[in-house]
Copies of this chain bind each other. A is one copy, B any other.
Amino acid sequence: MNYNGKRVPAVVIKRLPRYYRYLGELLKQDIQRISSNALSEKMKVTASQIRQDFNYFGGFGQQGYGYNVAYLHNEIGEILGLKEGYTTIIVGAGYLGHALANHNAFEKRGFRLSAIFDNDTQKIGSIINGHRVQDTALMEEYVREHNIDIAILTLPRSAVEETAERLAECGIKGFWNYSYAELKLKHKVAVENVHLSDSLMTLSYKIKQGNDE
């Protein structure tokens, strides 16, 4: 994955949200500086790996004195694009759609839920966390009119590809895809596939191999 045109390994990008989350916790505790060793211990990544990671983005300096927590938190948030503020819709008002619609942490990180869609007449019109579920037939018009950035896809696997293609044509910028189908789209749109069972398998590994963290 690229940063300012430079290639950055996907594993490094995947660590950024974890750094961001942890630095956010430190901020809440009013901790202003952290040594690379302390950060290393917490993140379970070597101190040299942390320096390597940060070097992809300019290094963030100040290693002798440790890192300035607020500065680092802000810079990483900037790189992650969290300052932009995104509007989102959920497509698929099943249990997972409900769960995500009720998840206030996303809003805090700048992802504002704008609307929820479903094609099931039983669900259309019901209220989820203050949003009236709308008919997916109205989805394209809504996305265009409200400049929606991200679609959270929690609909059945069989329907996801066609739905994503329709949304891509309306200019959606990213898909957060929970539908266990790989999207092969004609349009270039950012996609993040969520596979919940991956972390369940990781837990299984830890149990089997006797690891407790």
Contacts and interface: CB of A to CB of B under 8 A. Distances in A.
A143 interface: no
A137 interface: no
A212 B191 CA distance: 6
B203 A192 contact: yes
Interface residues of A, number: 65
B208 A103 contact: no
Interface stretch (A58-66, A79-87, A158-166): A79-87
A99 interface: yes
Contact of A11 (B11, B82, B175, B194): B11
B195 A194 contact: no
Interface string A194-213: 11111111111111111111
A17 B192 contact: no
A174 B80 contact: no
Of the candidates A190, A196, A200, A210, the one having the most CB atoms from chain B within 10 angstroms of its own CB is: A200
A64 to B, nearest CB: 28
Contact of A102 (B11, B79, B95): B95
Given A82-B201, A200-B111, A195 B103 contact: no
A38 to B, nearest CB: 16
Contacts of A71: none
Given A80-B201, A95-B96, A106-B200, 4 more contacts: A79-B205, A81-B208, A111-B200, A191-B212
